[in-house]
Each structure stands twice: as C-alpha cells, then as structure tokens.
Amino acid sequence: MDATADNANAATDARAAPEQADALTQALAQPYRHGFVTEIESDSLPPGLDEGVIREISRRKREPEFLLRWRLAAFERWQKMEAPDWAYLRIDPVDFQALSYYSAPKSHKNGPKSIDEVDPKLLETYEKLGVPLHERARLAGVAVDAVFDSVSVGTTFREKLAEVGVIFCSFSHAVQNHPELIERYLGTVVPQGDNFYAALNSAVFSDGSFVYVPAGVRCPMELSSYFRINAANTGQFERTLIIAEPGSHVSYLEGCTAPQRDENQLHAAVVELVAHDDAFIKYSTVQNWYPGDENGRGGIYNFVTKRGLAAGRRSRIAWTQVETGSAITWKYPSVVLRGDESNGEFHSIAVSNHYQQADTGTKMIHLGKNTTSRIVSKGISAGHAQNSYRGLVRINPGAEGARNHTQCDSLLIGHHCGAHTFPYIESTRGDAVVEHEATTTRISEERLFYCQQRGLDAQEATALIVGGFCQAVLEELPMEFALEARSLLAVSLEGAVG
C-alpha cells in the first residue's frame, strides 16, 4: 500500500544530485581520517577492498582463525550481491573501493585540538541541546583525554558490572577475551549473507559493543555507549552483539544526542540481540548523525541491520529509536519471535527535514505459539524530505495464536515533503490477529495559530506539537534520554515552520 499522503513532486523535489555525488566521492576518497584510539595513526589502511585487506584487518586485530574465515566467507558472498534498490530512497552510488576499511575513531591529529577550533554553529547546537560544556568538546571530536577523564568513570562502572557478572566491553575486546561466546553467537541472528550491507559489515567490521548478561541477572544500570571506554567513536562498520541469558534483564542505550560533523560517510552497522527464556532486552537508539545541509549536500548514509532473536519462552525484545539525523536512513530493527509467548516491540520516531530521506520500520517474524508484537511508528517530514515507514508482520504456520498491533502515524510540516507507508502482512494462519492503524496529519494552520495566539512563536509551537505527536514513543525512552530526544526533535525541525 502506497502513500497515505504523498506530496512528492518530481518538479519541486529535484535536488542537486551531481554536486552531491562529487562531494560524496571526494569525501569518501579521503583516506586516513580515522585511526584507532589504542593504535597509532599509521595503522589505517589505504582505500580499497579485496581479500588482502580483510586478511590484514584480521591480522592487525590479532583475531582467531575462525573469525578470519567468517569474514572471508562474508566477503565472498558480498561480492556476488547487489546494493538493494527497493527502498523509497534516492541514493547516489557509493564507490566501495574509495573507502578505507581499517579506520575507526577520529584522528586526534586531524580533529580539533581544542574547543576553540570547533565550528561555532555546532557548538550553538550543543548549547541548545543542553549538552554540558565538557561534553560539547568530546562530541565535537576534540581528543577525549584532553577533555575529561573518562577512565575513572569507566572503571567504577566496569567494577560494578563485574560484581554481577555482566560483561560489557568493545567487540574487539570480546573477541580476544571471550572468543567462545563470539564464535557461538556471531551471525546467528543476522547471517553473513542477510543483505548487501550486512554482508559488507561482516567482512570488514571494525569494532562495536559486546554485552553478556548471565542467567537471572538484572543489569544494575542502563548500559550506554557513552560509558564505553575506547568506543565513543567507533567507525563506519560497527558490530554489536548482546546476549541475555535466561531470566536476565538489560537496557542498552546507543547513540549520540548531538550531531557529529562526519560528512559524506557511509555507516553500515549490524546489531544482533539474543534473548533466551524469560530474558528481556531493551535497546534504545538516538541517532543524530550529520544530516547534510539545508540544500541536501553532505550527510551520513546510514544503512543499518538490527535484529533480535526472542529465542526462548517468554523472551522479550523492545527496540526504541529516535532517528533525526543522517542524509539517508535505511534501517529496520526487527524481532524474530521464536520462543512461545515471546514478545517483540518497536517504537520509532523518524524525523526528516530539508532533503533528508528515511526509509525505516521493522519486521516482526512470528514463529512460536502465542507470540505477540507491537509496532508504534511516528514519522515526521518537513522541508523537501521523504519519510517512509516499511514494516513486515509475518505469521508463520507454527505461530498459533499470534497477535500484532501496528500503529503508524505520519506528520507533515509544509507542502514539499512526503510521507509513505508500506505495511506488509504475511499471515499463514486464520487465527492470527493482525491489526494495522495509520493516520496522517499536518501541523495545521489552525493549531499553529492557536498556539501563537497564546504567545508561542512558530518554532516553540512546532516543537510542542511534534512533542505531542511523539509522546507515545518518547515515553518508552529512559527519562534523561527522553528529555534530550525532545530537545533534539526541536533542533532538527528548526526553520521548518514560519
């Protein structure tokens, strides 16, 4: 089903594609922009991708043999794959040979040395978001150690987790120290050949997070990449794996609540979650990568594969995402409901302004008996942006008594943007209950005038109305994240009205 509301207009929607392509190619061609925090800069590899590069990545990371073989198998599959073109996105072709595949955090040498060197416009945004001063510098890419001592924070944190047996470390660290867990779980939820970008990630992934929560343990704190030492700036190909043993409970927060000025880059991350019997994983994301400028130049291409396996009885997985950044977002956090009575949830806010494009949604795959899933999607489009919800609810033959409820709302701001809804329902059972509700609204002149008549300016009014529209999803976020997400929504939509 296409377009509950479609304002896409080919004539008015034309954008400066050639310039963008040039800028992108140039920026993607820049080598040595990144280097590992723990390594020296010369460890970056020159642009290009072949088997030799993959062997070199694995060698430098001192990986066990199984992982090298796994990477190579993924590479072999990737070479036979084509980039997907089914999404409602205009994507300029990416030259994969122009990228450097061994690169992660921003190089200290090329990054700003102090806050004085940071783009004032960026600092202004941080101020609006209420990011503390020392944090602003870190987010802007000023060398971490020059800004504040994160080590002490991290150490306390790590000790507290170790007491209850929770492992929370970088993916590379886990490969060295817990190879048996990596070998057992890697690729079990998102197989190597799952899709073009997942295959590429499997071949070349640099680093990411690893979480292991032992049976019966309720993780004593929210795990946040904020606290993850040495991984604040993990690179273009992140890989995250979270394992929750029976009866355990963990909440993971990912993301950066202020924009990074990484321009014209490809991000192809993979996240795998495994929840065993009675385990619960809550995964929250606030994504605010650089969206490109008002004219659609620059910005991150964000192609992410996120999937959770509700593996056992009564396993629960909940995705919550607030997506305001990136030039292109292609992302479908999904849940495979294998265990009987398992539950999957997806709560999403996707904002696109100016020339941003978002094609995002979820997949709920019902395999077990009496499995339930709930989808709440809030898409907001402004400027010339295109925002699509794409969701699949599949009820397999064994999924007796499966139920799904989908609520999919779109909010349009202005007359040049578009909202699209592509819900796919594949049900093989007569007893399945699959409900889909969709609405499309506009920030109407009357609502805006009403707010303004009471003294709010157009921007305050828009922020208020958008916040109300997103309320149901914001409620799912941990408190402090919700506050930041709210300011982020306001900042992302600045200038959209009035």
Is there binding between residue 479 and other proteins (CB under 8 A)? no
- Identify the residue among 30, 464, 478, 483 touching other proteins (CB under 8 A): 464
Stretch that binds other proteins, among 48-56, 137-145, 302-310, 466-474 (CB under 8 A): 466-474
- Identify the residue among 163, 430, 446, 479 touching other proteins (CB under 8 A): 446
Is the Cβ of residue 41 or residue 460 nearer to other proteins in the bound state? 460
Sites for other proteins among residues 273-312 (CB under 8 A): none
Is the Cβ of residue 272 or residue 409 nearer to other proteins in the bound state? 409
Is the Cβ of residue 357 or residue 462 nearer to other proteins in the bound state? 462
Is there binding between residue 8 and other proteins (CB under 8 A)? no
Is there binding between residue 470 and other proteins (CB under 8 A)? yes
Q: How far apart are CA 465 and CA 233, in angstroms?
A: 33
Is the Cβ of residue 4 or residue 25 nearer to other proteins in the bound state? 4
Which DSSP symbol is given to 384? T
Closest separation in Å from C-beta 465 to other proteins: 6
Contact 369, 401 (CB under 8 A): yes
Is the Cβ of residue 129 or residue 451 nearer to other proteins in the bound state? 451
**Beta-ladder partners of 395:** 366, 427
- Identify the residue among 25, 30, 440, 452 touching other proteins (CB under 8 A): 452
Q: How far apart are CA 228 and CA 230, in angstroms?
A: 6
Q: How far apart are CA 184 and CA 188, in angstroms?
A: 8
Which DSSP symbol is given to 117? G
Is the Cβ of residue 97 or residue 444 nearer to other proteins in the bound state? 444
Report the Cα 302 to chain-centroid distance in Å: 8
Contact 318, 285 (CB under 8 A): no
Is the Cβ of residue 216 or residue 467 nearer to other proteins in the bound state? 467
Which CB contacts under 8 angstroms, 24+ apart, belong to 141-147? 141/106, 141/111, 141/112, 141/233, 141/260, 141/261, 142/111, 142/112, 142/113, 142/114, 142/115, 142/117, 142/118, 143/108, 143/111, 143/113, 144/37, 144/232, 146/113, 146/114
Is there binding between residue 451 and other proteins (CB under 8 A)? yes
Is there binding between residue 450 and other proteins (CB under 8 A)? yes
Site string for other proteins, 426-445 (x = CB under 8 A): ------------------xx
Is the Cβ of residue 85 or residue 445 nearer to other proteins in the bound state? 445
Stretch that binds other proteins, among 12-20, 181-189, 385-393, 451-459 (CB under 8 A): 451-459
> What are the tokens at 93?
């072709």
- Identify the residue among 161, 349, 465, 485 touching other proteins (CB under 8 A): 465
Q: How far apart are CA 372 and CA 317, in angstroms?
A: 11
Quick check: helix, strand or coil at residue 222? Answer: coil
Is the Cβ of residue 203 or residue 466 nearer to other proteins in the bound state? 466
Is the Cβ of residue 29 or residue 472 nearer to other proteins in the bound state? 472
Quick check: helix, strand or coil at residue 486? Answer: helix
Closest separation in Å from C-beta 378 to other proteins: 10
Stretch that binds other proteins, among 16-24, 145-153, 234-242, 465-473 (CB under 8 A): 465-473
Q: How far apart are CA 249 and CA 216, in angstroms?
A: 8
CA dist 54 to 37, 44, 107, 276, Å? 20, 13, 22, 33
Is there binding between residue 471 and other proteins (CB under 8 A)? yes
Is the Cβ of residue 94 or residue 465 nearer to other proteins in the bound state? 465
- Identify the residue among 149, 449, 480, 495 touching other proteins (CB under 8 A): 449
Residues binding other proteins: number (CB under 8 A) = 23
φ and ψ at residue 107, rounded to 5 degrees? -70, 135
Closest separation in Å from C-beta 189 to other proteins: 34
Q: How far apart are CA 146 and CA 142, in angstroms?
A: 7
Q: How far apart are CA 350 and CA 386, in angstroms?
A: 11
Q: How far apart are CA 374 and CA 199, in angstroms?
A: 28
Is there binding between residue 455 and other proteins (CB under 8 A)? yes
Sites for other proteins among residues 316-355 (CB under 8 A): none
Judged by the rule CB under 8 A, the positions of this chain that interact with other proteins are: 444-447, 449-458, 460, 464-465, 467-472
